[in-house]
Amino acid sequence: MCLAIAPNQKLNNGYFNRIWRIASSTPLRLFSFCAFIHSLVLGGLFVHNTAASAHIDLHVYIFGFTYGILALVAYGYLLTWLPKKYSLSPIHYGQYNVIYLFMMAGLGALEVGIFFSNNWILAGMLLLVPAWLFAIQCLKDMHIWLNSTAQQISRVLLFLLLFNFSNLGLSILAWLYSSSDMAILATSSSIFFSWPSIIVAALVLFLNAPAKGRVISP
């Protein structure tokens, strides 16, 4: 005899469950939520340590902002709007949830490390690496389904993301070897070249989408 147990409606339809379903319905919403939380935490830690005259490792804060928070917003937009603009299948929840989990864990470890030890900081930095790789792979999978004109722009976008990923690796090495020159090179290259170029490439890609593309608000 087989017994079927009905789901707990109160658990499935609770307030927090509804909020989570809305927040996690698209990469943009989920990643923006994560970016907002960690912006508050990192900002709060910076203000607290400044007020307490504690040692502040600016490299760690800039790293978290540049390769964590900015990356979350950028990948959220790209993974949400690219499929909609070009009438592609939306990215599966399981795929972008992996990116979210690595980003959330990486930034969380980074913040814990600011209070406790450098081992946590290093762990946080390294956890962002697979998040970036998963995100770039998702965009690469979409690239093959674009038309020839869009693919030309998409190649530039992917190159810029990979270049920024190399800056992430350079930033980790700079922190490990306490190289201020390497840190300045990686950070300035990312903030003043990579991210502005990525924004321009993404806008051009979106503007070149077919006029009859299926557009759904996030």
Digitized pLDDT (tens) for each residue of the chain, 218 residues in all = 333 333 444 545 677 777 777 777 789 999 999 999 999 999 999 898 888 777 778 889 999 999 999 999 999 999 999 999 998 888 888 889 999 999 999 999 999 998 888 899 999 999 999 999 999 999 999 999 998 889 999 999 999 999 999 999 999 999 988 888 888 889 889 999 999 999 999 999 999 888 764 444 44
Q: What is the enclosing helix (H) or strand (E) of 138?
A: helix 118-143
pLDDT at 208: 86
In a domain, 67, yes or no: yes
pLDDT at 205: 93
Determine the distance from the C-alpha atom of residue 117 to the mean position of all C-alpha atoms in its chain, rounded to a whole number.
24
pLDDT at 16: 72
CA distances from 60 to 45, 63, 92 (A): 11, 5, 32
In a domain, 113, yes or no: yes
Domain that holds residue 54: 26-207
In a domain, 45, yes or no: yes
Are 117 and 111 within 8 A, CB to CB? no
pTM: 0.86
Are 195 and 147 within 8 A, CB to CB? no
pLDDT at 13: 63
In a domain, 49, yes or no: yes
Based on the structure, what is the number of domains in the chain? 1
In a domain, 129, yes or no: yes
Are 139 and 82 within 8 A, CB to CB? yes
Please report where in the chains the tokens 């690796």 appear, as a residue. Answer: 169
In a domain, 17, yes or no: no
In a domain, 104, yes or no: yes
pLDDT at 153: 93
In a domain, 212, yes or no: no
